[in-house]
Amino acid sequence: MEFDDLLQHADIVVVMVPLTEETTGLISTREFGLMKPTSILVNAARGPVVDEDALVTALREKQIFAAGLDVFDQEPLPANHSLMRLDNVTLTPHIGSSTYATTREMEMCAAKNLVQALQGDTPQDLIKELKD
């Protein structure tokens, strides 16, 4: 099934892609026009993947039913942003992965990396730019 067909038939569209040149603006005015008026958009990828201005318009004009966003073009989302004034959108402050399990895993990774560094080894999860 092609992407446009998926948008036309999906009840819920969940965006989970990395931010690249190809995915920036992936969901915009044209895509909202393809979606059903009962569709819900969930963006847990990166903010710029969804055109926020087009999303606000789609929500105001009832092109789609609702949206759930955990990521935004600008984080934190400004208090006066149009998305803050819509009743058909649920916003979370980029905490979608904040569960006990993921927090515990991040703590363990940080501790292991610290021990490796203190032992004179290269930490396993060193940021690439810092390796060079």
- CA dist., res. 75 & res. 93, Å (int): 8
Please pick, among 9, 60, 61, 75, the residue that the annotation labels catalytic.
Answer: 75
Could you confirm whether 30 is annotated as catalytic?
Answer: no
Could you confirm whether 85 is annotated as catalytic?
Answer: no
- CA dist., res. 51 & res. 61, Å (int): 15
Q: Which residues contact 27 (CB under 8 A, 6 or more apart)?
A: 13, 15, 41, 43, 49, 50, 51, 54, 55
- CA dist., res. 84 & res. 95, Å (int): 17
Could you confirm whether 81 is annotated as catalytic?
Answer: no
- Catalytic positions: 46, 75, 94
